[in-house]
Amino acid sequence: MKDSQPTLSELAIQEAAAVLVEATCEFLRRNRISKTMIMKSVRQTRRSHGGVRQYRKLVRAYEDMGMVMSTWYSQPRFLDSEGRPLPLTAGRGILSISNLIRLSRVKISVALALELLRQSPSVQIDALGKFIAVKRMFVLPDFEVPRAALVIERYLDTLRKNYSAQKNGASLLLERNCHVPEIDVRRISPILRDIKERGTAFMDSVDGDIEAFRTQRSSQRVVGELGVLIFAWTRPSTPRRSKASLVNQLVTRTSMAAHRSIPKARAR
């Protein structure tokens, strides 16, 4: 008895899994992660928490610094009369990084915060050694891989929770996307500028609302995590070609390969 053929949905899932793995591997390769390291990571089990301890530590520090920058831009005592962030010192005092961290109610140490601020393009250091805020969002150089891991891990967890919620009739977490498969490329830039402006204003508002409910760390409380991610993308479309043109090109290339005894190129 022959095995039943997989359904269209099953085939789509298999191919989607291949696309997900390939996109992840390609992203890692572009960020100079070796194939050996990729395969080692794949073989590691999730039970080996020790293998990701440093990553978790860096991510916690990164998130804490996001809260620090948010407080710098929103706490009145750190703003001038026009609402701009005031320069802060590395020492002690009201207008200092240590006081900013204290009022941000985060766990990161002052020493680590100063180290990350010196690396970040979100701030500049003037001739007097004072820290000047440049961007509200905290950014670290060469942080693409940890940031991708942070976002993808939580996005996939959101999909899992939403799938369970649908079966149980519970409320769903927000997970939506909208896109236009074909659009005049000349329209993309102004639309993206509008999305960025409105998205930034929305995130600033949400950030303030969430931060207002941040609790002091305590072993007596049952706490959870809440976050919002805004993501926009653009991708050029492959120019359409007629079937006849594609067939002619294929025949020509095949003939040339046979004539020159050139091996077929591997599909990527």
Residue 139 domain flag: yes
**Same-domain status, 64 and 37:** no
**Same-domain status, 41 and 79:** no
Residue 246 domain flag: no
Residue 18 domain flag: yes
**Same-domain status, 13 and 95:** no
**Same-domain status, 113 and 84:** yes
What is the average pLDDT value for the chain, to the nearest integer? Answer: 80
Residue 134 domain flag: yes
**Same-domain status, 69 and 38:** no
Structure tokens at 151: 């976002």
| Domain ranges, residue 19 | 7-45
Mean pLDDT for 158-180 is 83
Residue 188 domain flag: no
* Counted domains in the chain: 2
**Same-domain status, 36 and 63:** no
Residue 215 domain flag: no
pLDDT digits (tens, 9 = 90+) for 212-227: 776 665 556 777 878 8
pTM: 0.67
Question: Per this entry, what is the length of the chain?
Answer: 268
Mean pLDDT for 101-110 is 92
**Same-domain status, 163 and 62:** yes
Q: Is the pLDDT of residue 39 over 50?
A: yes
Cβ distance 56 to 149 under 8 Å? no
**Same-domain status, 19 and 77:** no
Q: HEC states along the chain?
A: CCCCCCCHHHHHHHHHHHHHHHHHHHHHHHCCCCHHHHHHHHHCCCCCHHHHHHHHHHHHHHHHHHHHHHHHHHCHHHECCCCCECCEECCCCCCEHHHHHHHHCCCCCHHHHHHHHHHCCCEEECCCCCEEECCCCCCCCCCHHHHHHHHHHHHHHHHHHHHHHHHHCCCCCCCCCCCCCCCCHHHHHHHHHHHHHHHHHHHHHHHHHHHHCCCCCCCCCCCCCCCCCCCCCCCCCCCCCCHHHHHHHHHHHHHHHHHHCCCCCCCC
Least confident window among 144-153, 183-192, 222-231: 222-231
Residue 151 domain flag: yes
**Same-domain status, 99 and 22:** no
Most confident of 69-78, 162-171, 225-234: 69-78
131 forms beta bridges with: 88, 125
